[in-house]
Amino acid sequence: MNHTDGTLIDVLQFLFMGIQRGSIYAMVAMGFNMIYNATGIINFAQGEFVVLGGLMMVSLTMAFNLSIVFAFILTVLFVMVAGILMERLTINPVKEPTVLRLIIITIAVSIIIKGAAMCFWGKGSHYMRHFSSSESLDFYGATILPQTLWIFAILFFLVVAYVIFFNYTMTGKCMRACAINRDAARLAGINDRKMVMLSFALSAGIGAIAGIIITPIIQMDYTRGAMLGLKGFGAAVLGGLGNSMGAVFAGILLGILEALGAGYISSHYMDAIALVILLLVLFIRPSGIFGSSEAMRLKEF
C-alpha cells in the first residue's frame, strides 16, 4: 500500500461502512414514512418485513437454488403479500381506528411475525451468498465489498423510483393527496382505504428489498427486526416523520455517525449511538432536521 495517510484511509473505511448500514436504515425509514403518511401511525412491524425479506431470500437462493434475480422478485412479492394481509386482517377491520390502537396492533403483528419466522427458519442465523463476488475491492487504500456497491445502487434506484412514483403517476399522486388532506381526497373519489393497503404493500416491499440486500453482509436471524426497525425509526424521526427524502439523508447520516462512533469510541456502543441520537432529536428538535415544526404541530403523533 503506497498511501501513507492511514487516518484518512480509516475515515474512508468507516464512511463506506456507515453509508452501507445507513442505506438500510434509509430504506426502513422510507417504509415507515409511507405507512405514516397514509395512516398517521408508526408500523412497528416494519423491521419484521426486513427480516422476512432476508430469510425468504436465503431459503429461495440457498435451499431452492433459484437465481438471484428471480429469487429477489419472488421474495419482494411474498413480503408485499404479507404486508397486504397484515393491513386487511389487522388494520382494516378496526372499528374505531385511533392512532394508539393501530400502533399497538402493529406491535402485536411484529411479535407474531417474529414468532412465525422463528418456527419456520429456526433460531440460527442464516448465511447467504453475495450478489456478485465476495472479494473486497481496493478503493484508495480502503476496502469495499461488491455487495456494498449493490446496496448503494439499489438505494439510488429506489429513491429515483420513489420520486417518479409519487410525483408523476396518478396512483402516487393519489397516495400523496390522501396524506395531505384525507377528506379532500375522498371527496375527489379516491378510496383512502385502498391507498392504505397500497402503502402497506409498498412499505413491505421496500422492507423486503432492504432485508435481501443486507443479508449477505450481516447474516439474518429472526431477532434482527427489532433493532433494524428501531434504527430505521430513528432515521425517520431524524429526517422528519413523513419526509422520505429527509429520511434517506438522515438514514445515511445515522449510519455514518454509528460507524465513526464504533471506530473511534468503541464498537460496543454502536447500537447505543443511534439511540442516543434518536433521544437527542426528540429532546431538541422533535420535527427532525428536515421536517418543518409547523407541520409537526398538525400531526396526531
Partner 1 sequence: MLRLVNVNSYYGLIHILKNVSMHVSEGEIVTMLGANGAGKTTTLRTISGLQPVRRGKIFFHDQEITGASPEKLVSMGIAHVPEGRQIFRPMSVYDNLELGGYLIYKHYGKKQLKTDIEQTFALFPILKERRTQYAGTLSGGEQQMLAIAMALMSRPRLLLLDEPSMGLAPLIIKDIFQMIAKLQADRKLTVLLIEQNANAALKIADRGYVIETGKIVLEENAGKLMTNQEVKRAYLGREQKEIWE
Per-residue binding string, partner 1, 124-163, x by CB under 8 A, is ----------------------------------------
Residue 69 in contact with partner 1, rule: CB under 8 A: no
What is the nearest approach in angstroms of partner 1 to the Cβ of residue 247?
A: 17
Q: How far apart are CA 248 and CA 254, in angstroms?
A: 10
Which CB sits closer to partner 1, 93 or 189?
A: 189
What is the nearest approach in angstroms of partner 1 to the Cβ of residue 176?
A: 7
Site for partner 1 in 157-196 (CB under 8 A): 170, 173-174, 176-177, 180-181, 183-191
Q: Which of 248, 243, 89, 246 is nearest to 179 (CA)?
A: 243
Which CB sits closer to partner 1, 130 or 173?
A: 173
Which CB sits closer to partner 1, 50 or 179?
A: 179
What is the nearest approach in angstroms of partner 1 to the Cβ of residue 104?
A: 22
Q: ∠ CA(106), CA(104), CA(288), 5° rounding?
A: 80
Q: Which of 233, 223, 198 is nearest to 84 (CA)?
A: 198
The CA-to-CA distance between both ends of the chain, in Å, stands at 52
Q: Looking up cell 409519487, which residue turns up? A: 166
What is the nearest approach in angstroms of partner 1 to the Cβ of residue 193?
A: 9
Q: Which of 154, 155, 136 is nearest to 146 (CA)?
A: 136
Q: How far apart are CA 142 and CA 123, in angstroms?
A: 34
Chain residues that interact with partner 1, rule: CB under 8 A: 170, 173-174, 176-177, 180-181, 183-191
